[in-house]
Chain A
Amino acid sequence: MGIAKRNSKVAFYGVTTKSGVVYHRMSGFTEFSTAKNPIEYSRQYVDEETEFTDVVGYSPSVSYEFDLFTENPVHLDIADIADNERVGAEAVRTIILVDMESSTHTAVKRDFAVIPDSEGSSMEAYTYSGNFKVKGEKVFGTASTNDDWQTCTFTE
């Protein structure tokens, strides 16, 4: 039994091009941390001494931070959303999370709203940070690549 490396799960971000959506590796990110944010229903019944809690839903989000690389299409797309304060469908993107350790490269695809927060808070590099908040259901599948995982293709 070995410890799972952080880089065993790699995210790919869908950037829309003239020929369709291309899923680029999310490189240059110093933070990509998932919070499940469970929604709880707590109540105390009149005939009970203790409170009861159930989980009735989830509102997952991913906090992100990256060093801006000027030729990275993922960075440029997120920066465009932040800089131009895009709203609604213009700020929704698809992210694929690939398990690089699994033999079949199992993957989960999901839509997220890009919620920018801050930028330029570091002296070492120009950084952008914010959250990806869930906008759709999980789709399970596998991922494959033709360019050593710089981009990937998702198969349901």
Chain B
Amino acid sequence: MNFIGIMRDFIKKFDGFGGKYVGIGQLNSRKNCVYIRDFGKTEVMRYYVDGTKILKRRFAAEFETGAGLGSESELETAELCEAFAEWLEEQSRIGNLPQFYGKPAIGVYLSDVEVTMHKGTQKHTLICNVEYMKGR
């Protein structure tokens, strides 16, 4: 399975998204969906002498909420983002992470949250990084 498929399967395990469908690709005004998007950029974090390296790859989980629904809805979304960040941290701590090249990832963490308005909806983009080892 490719990178984005692996991350989609991993994110599916997060209970906080409730019954939302977790898919792949760009979000296109579909409610009750979370879409996983790959930024397609891989950065080498560390080189080791035997040729292995730690790679960092960025992806995003995107979902929409109605705009102008008031502070309760805003609070719910903020809590969801916090819960998601904590869930990622917990999975990294207990080592329950997706596998790349036959080895579990080193860590997955939330690095940024972007909110954009589009046609009466708010699009929330949870930007995450995953670090994993690539062997020889």
Interface residues, chain A, CB within 8 Å of chain B? 5-7, 10-11, 25-32, 67, 124, 148-149
Contact = CB atoms under 8 A, between A and B. Distances in A.
A124 to B, nearest CB: 8
B46 A25 contact: no
A31 B47 CA distance: 10
A10 B46 contact: no
Interface in B31-50: 46-50
A29 B49 contact: yes
Interface of B: 46-52, 135-136
A25 B50 contact: yes
Given A27-B135, A149-B136, A7 B51 contact: yes
A6 B48 CA distance: 9
Contacts of B49: 6-7, 26, 29-32
Contacts of B47: 30
Contacts of A32: 49
B132 to A, nearest CB: 12
B46 A27 contact: no
